[in-house]
Amino acid sequence: MTKKKFTKKKKWLIFGGGGTLVLILIVISLMRKDDDAIKVETEKITRQTIIHKVNASGKIQPETEVKISATSSAWIDSITAEEGDYVKKGQHLITLDRKQLLSNYNAAVSSVRSANARLKQELASKKRVENMYEQNLASDQELEAVQASYEIANSSLAQAKSSLESREDDLNKARIVSPQDGIVTAVNKEVGEMAVGGMFQAEVLMIIADLNRMEVIVDVNENDVVSVSQGDTTEIEIDAFQDTLFYGVVSEIAHMAQTSSVGSAEQVTNFEVKIRMIQVPDGIRPGMSATANIITDKKDNVLTIPIQSLTVRPEGSEFMTFGKNKDSDKNNDSKRQKAKKMEELVFIIANKPSGVLRDGIMSDMDEKSLNKTKIGKDEKIVHIRPIHVGISSETHYEVLSGIGEGEVIVTGSYRAISKDLSHNKVVKTQEDEPNGKNGFNIKTETNKSGD
* The pLDDT of residue 218 is above 70: yes
pLDDT at 19: 62
Q: How far apart are CA 36 and CA 230, in angstroms?
A: 54
What's the average model confidence in pLDDT over 236-246? 93
The DSSP bridge pattern shows strands 245-253 and 311-314 to be unpaired
* The pLDDT of residue 33 is above 70: no
Confidence bin at 442 (pLDDT 50/70/90): very low
Structural contact between residues 143 and 129, judged by C-beta atoms closer than 8 angstroms: yes
For residue 162, the surrounding DSSP H or E stretch is helix 140-173
Confidence bin at 52 (pLDDT 50/70/90): very high
pLDDT at 377: 76
pLDDT at 326: 44
Name the more confident of 72 and 277.
Answer: 277
Q: How far apart are CA 359 and CA 387, in angstroms?
A: 8
Name the more confident of 362 and 214.
Answer: 214
* The pLDDT of residue 433 is above 50: no
- The string of pLDDT tens digits covering residues 352-376 is 888 888 888 888 776 666 666 677 7
* The pLDDT of residue 35 is above 70: no
Q: How far apart are CA 119 and CA 216, in angstroms?
A: 61
Name the more confident of 19 and 361.
Answer: 361
Name the more confident of 148 and 26.
Answer: 148
Mean pLDDT of the chain: 83
Determine what percent of the chain is predicted with pLDDT higher than 70: 81
- The string of pLDDT tens digits covering residues 79-104 is 999 998 999 999 999 999 988 889 99
CA-to-CA dists, residue 309 to 40, 126, 305, angstroms:
11, 100, 7
pLDDT at 322: 53
What's the average model confidence in pLDDT over 204-208? 94
pLDDT at 23: 65
* The pLDDT of residue 388 is above 50: yes
Q: How far apart are CA 306 and CA 310, in angstroms?
A: 7
Residue 380 pairs with which residues in a beta bridge? 427
Q: How far apart are CA 288 and CA 290, in angstroms?
A: 7
What's the average model confidence in pLDDT over 239-259? 93
- The string of pLDDT tens digits covering residues 5-17 is 445 555 555 656 6
Of 32-41, 244-253, 274-283, the poorest mean pLDDT is in 32-41
Confidence bin at 391 (pLDDT 50/70/90): very high
What's the average model confidence in pLDDT over 309-315? 91
CA-to-CA dists, residue 303 to 52, 348, 356, 389, 402, angstroms:
15, 15, 21, 10, 11
* The pLDDT of residue 448 is above 70: no
